[in-house]
Structure 1
Amino acid sequence: MTAGPVPQHVSRQVTRRVSRRVVLDGGIAAGTALFVKLPSAVAEDFTKPFTGFAPPSTVLREGTPASVGLDPAPIEIAKQRVIGYQTAPAGGTPLYPGHVGLMAHDGMIVTTQVDGWALRYATATTELPRSEWIPMRRDTIFDLASVSKLFTSIAVVQLIEEGRVELEATVATYLPEFAANGKESVPIRHLLTHTSGFVAWVPLWSRYPDKASRIAAVMNQPLLNPVGSTYLYSDLNLITLGVLVEKLRGMPLDEVVAEHITGPLGMSDTGYNPTQRERTAATEYQVTPSRGMVWGEVHDENAWSLGGVAGHAGVFSTVDDLAILGQALLNGGTYRGGRILTRKSVAMLITNYTTDFPGDDHGLGFELNQIWYMDALSGPRTAGHTGYTGTSLVIDFQSRSIAILLTNRVHPSRSWGSINPARREWAGGLGRALPVSPRGRHVAWETQANHASYAVLSVPLSVPSAGARLGFDLVAETEETDLLRVEVTSGDPGSAGAAWTLLPLDYRYPGETRPDAEDGSVSGTPGMRKWALVRALLPGGTTGVRWSYTTDANTLGRGVAVSRVRAVSDAGVLVDSDGNSGAFTASGWTLVRRS
């Protein structure tokens, strides 16, 4: 469904992503290798990532995956699974009552999906009468929760761009009251990257009586850790920055965002404290504080106690407005002639300032390379954020892609579970739709996107006693716990009892002069979106080579692709995948060829 209301550790890190699947939900029977032809003219290949920004004139338009060279199959699988999370498993609860999703690539909105309910429950345990359920619509307005932090961060970077704020200056330079309790040396950058030393959260709404005392409490809050010593995500960082923006602009934060961000971009459905309650997705039924069903006002208790406008939460928006923001950033800060940032400023937003904290990559406000929700789109130039209410925004600058999933997962209760599986499915579906084409006109095998699986690609050989040389091209982008092993045997390769051992590998990327040595196993996600050249020496007596890939039940990343497999001895060619792909046996791999 696409629109409108619808009721209802690391051995070696190599590359990132795989490509054009036609695997249906449930996987492929063991021993089956699908053959897929790739069109000779496709959109930008995953292994040829963009640098820089999209043309500033790029405007979003409606299309199909095929119209920009994407494989529609992974997208359709993602859509089905995201809908499926709205159905409760036996003895459990659904992940959310409804959702609206959008995927875009290179300026084209390739799919949208609208399903389920914006309002369904009267209390945490009771449904409304069926006639009072309100269906999701494409223009349903969602409480973005912490995705709001991106708007505050952009507002701060705008001040940096104007020369009114310095990134490395201390916060107390602009907010003297912030220096209280040993915070005089905290720089602006550390607030934007969650390395300030602040505690994660303080219950401002219940501990202090009014807005003034709540803001004062943030300014007076001591540090939990020495500044710069620890990455710890904290709402207090962005609350502080919201106050800073208001002081320097001389107006409330909601007016700053409207005048300097949403207005110039034409984001007409984005702002704080929405006035059209019936268009918003309901969130949680709250007993403490005693708010009842929260609908049409901010869910976050601290933001609510600050009048609905705060630096860490409070923004409401739609998928189409968020797509505009995403495309504006991909364009280098502009959309339809409205510029909110320079290209240099956008580059600052997505520069990793937290290299001392591997795995917690963070730009200015934007999270980077977070596979736990970006999945197959994750990379060093993939930026985004999630929101507690069930929202996520992923912007991949290397493929110029946007994946937005908005749900009301806290409706009617926050205790019903995490929606990270759905976030991964949505971003992963778009990531796996990006083509990874064999170099030249070669065939390739790609692993299928299955959780908790074991995939094997093998080929029999007869290597003379003097040995032979093996070469192949490899794209391998996996999570750390998913492992590719390249192995050899001297027994019967078709026997279940054959002993397989790791084959040491040398590999490099085109343009590199020194190959790297490896033990024969590969895992991890470095974001190197290009083919690696792999070489190995096959021992004499080798009777078979295999590429085995094991995944767990968590994230997938893009997977593995193998191409140009060629084994040569002094006597000649032993195997060539282009000339004899039929000699290979594949289970859990798909064979592809550019036509």
Structure 2
Amino acid sequence: MEDTYGDGGRGSSRASDVESGGGELSAPRLRVDTPERAGLDATELGHLVREVRDLTTGERPWAAGVVAVAGRGPVIAVREAAGWAVRYVSYDPQTDAGVELPPAERVPMTVDTPFDLASLTKLFTSVAAVQQIERGTLGIDARVGAYLPEFRGAAEHGITVRQLLTHTSGLRPELPLYDCPDDTARLALLRAEAPTGQPGTYLYSDLNMLLLQFVLERVTGRTLDVLVHEGITRPLGMTSTRFGPCPGAAATEDQRRPWAKADRGMLRGVVHDENAWALGGVAGHAGLFGSGRDLAVFCRTLLAGGAYGPARILGPDFVELLLTPPGLGFAVDQPWFMGELACRGAAGHTGFTGTSLVLDPATDTFLVLLANTVHPRRRPPDSRPRAAAATHLARAVCPRP
């Protein structure tokens, strides 16, 4: 188990030991320090930490393992890991329980463990899109058909880039690409897909980010994984964030029918999402792996107006465009997973595997909560622990002098 406010013996927690940006144009880098130095109440954060630890205990824990990273401004005040990155060898449907590995073979969770980020991938796709909007190579209100005329379903109904980013295209939540025999069949299915809902009405859909991926690859001539690496993760020093495979990641599901959509066995280090897997692991809606610290850097960058250290990935006006309600890719003010942060203009997202992040520009705070809730198998989603953790962070905010 990790130390509450330090590195759990895996690194220094002294502010002087953490790299900071140099030069007048550099934005401060994150450092690990005390809650007081962050302007946060230590007692409230203590409640957050204890509840995070409790999420991995009992006969049917909320998750096999959890990592929480929280802070304010450039200070990380909580870095906590609990439970197991790998606890089960399989799932037994007869007993509706996981078959545990012998204790010596389990893999403990650490603050550096990478996770299958699932739908948090959508945030990176959204940032990559807004980067192209900032550069003038992509029009936010341009029609998808202007870039992808062969996607006749989207073209004929006038779907726009903004509608993809705000989940208002009318496209259904997903397609069974995992059942197609080959890439040709998968592409044909996507190209023919037309809205099933009323365009302009919110309907969350993985297909929005898949189409956005194709748009980005068409206008830039580069694949999505290259766009994310070159435009986001490399300049920000997010060295653990990449599309899979990721052998050291926390395990996810013993993926089998009928509860899943494919028969793949216990998954670790390969994308959990069946459609992203069918597409080779790189998809606009899922496929990224990353650590809590890396996502804290991502949050800090957006809270700082698009800059981190000497790097800038977006201008402040375009960060504001991302986070202004209803948000571009980001969900804004959603109490079901943001708790009491939701009333302040917070933005963030969740992922099916148990991942989430929230950043609150009003208080300059962020919370990353990563868990392998689908290990050893998926359950009905329960975001109450996410909301509770975010509420503790909201209540921890102290007035700044």
- TM-score of the pair, normalised by structure 1: 0.61
Secondary structure in 2 matching 1:168: coil
CA distance in 2, matches of 1:114, 1:225: 42
Give the aligned partner of residue 251 of structure 2.
282
- CA offset digits 1:290-322 (Å, max 9, x no partner): 211010100000000000000000010001111
CA shift, 1:244, in A, is 1.2
CA distance in 1, matches of 2:66, 2:184: 36
Misfit runs of 4+, over 4 Å: none
CA distance in 2, matches of 1:388, 1:399: 27
CA distance in 1, matches of 2:392, 2:344: 19
Distance 1:242 1:181, change over 3 A: closer
CA shift, 1:5, in A, is 8.8
Distance 1:181 1:314, change over 3 A: closer
* Unmatched tracts of structure 1, length 5 or more: 7-54, 353-361, 438-593
CA distance in 1, matches of 2:309, 2:84: 33
In the alignment, is the contact (CA less than 8 A) between 1:167 and 1:189 conserved in 2?
yes
Give the aligned partner of residue 549 of structure 1.
none
Q: Is 2:40 aligned against 1:70? A: yes
Give the aligned partner of residue 265 of structure 1.
236
Give the aligned partner of residue 392 of structure 1.
356
* Unmatched tracts of structure 2, length 5 or more: 11-24, 92-97
CA distance in 2, matches of 1:138, 1:323: 12
- CA offset digits 1:174-217 (Å, max 9, x no partner): 111223376441111011000100111222101x1123321331
In the alignment, is the contact (CA less than 8 A) between 2:340 and 2:391 conserved in 1?
yes
Q: Is 2:381 aligned against 1:423? A: no
CA distance in 1, matches of 2:41, 2:363: 14
In the alignment, is the contact (CA less than 8 A) between 2:138 and 2:219 conserved in 1?
no
Q: Is 2:211 aligned against 1:240? A: yes
In the alignment, is the contact (CA less than 8 A) between 1:394 and 1:404 conserved in 2?
yes
Q: Is 2:88 aligned against 1:121? A: yes
Q: Kindly report which structure 2 residues correspond to 1:89-238, keeping only aligned pairs within 5 A, or say none.
A: 93-124=60-91, 125-180=98-153, 183-206=156-179, 208-228=180-200, 230-238=201-209
Higher normalized strand content (fraction of residues) = 1
* Correspondence for 1:83 among 29, 53, 67: 53
CA distance in 2, matches of 1:70, 1:287: 44
CA distance in 2, matches of 1:180, 1:190: 14
* Correspondence for 2:397 among 429, 434, 440: 434
CA shift, 1:69, in A, is 2.8
Give % identity.
Answer: 43
Distance 1:273 1:68, change over 3 A: closer
- TM-score of the pair, normalised by structure 2: 0.89
In the alignment, is the contact (CA less than 8 A) between 2:149 and 2:155 conserved in 1?
no
CA distance in 1, matches of 2:308, 2:244: 25
CA distance in 2, matches of 1:302, 1:400: 35
CA shift, 1:379, in A, is 3.4
Secondary structure in 1 matching 2:356: strand
Secondary structure in 2 matching 1:395: strand
In the alignment, is the contact (CA less than 8 A) between 1:182 and 1:223 conserved in 2?
no
Secondary structure in 1 matching 2:270: coil
- CA offset digits 1:438-489 (Å, max 9, x no partner): xxxxxxxxxxxxxxxxxxxxxxxxxxxxxxxxxxxxxxxxxxxxxxxxxxxx
CA distance in 1, matches of 2:164, 2:69: 30
Considering only aligned residues, what root-mean-square deviation do their CA atoms show, in Å?
A: 1.9
Distance 1:175 1:70, change over 3 A: same
Secondary structure in 1 matching 2:251: coil
Higher normalized helix content (fraction of residues) = 2
CA shift, 1:250, in A, is 1.2
CA distance in 1, matches of 2:210, 2:148: 13
Distance 1:430 1:324, change over 3 A: same
Count of equivalent residues? 373
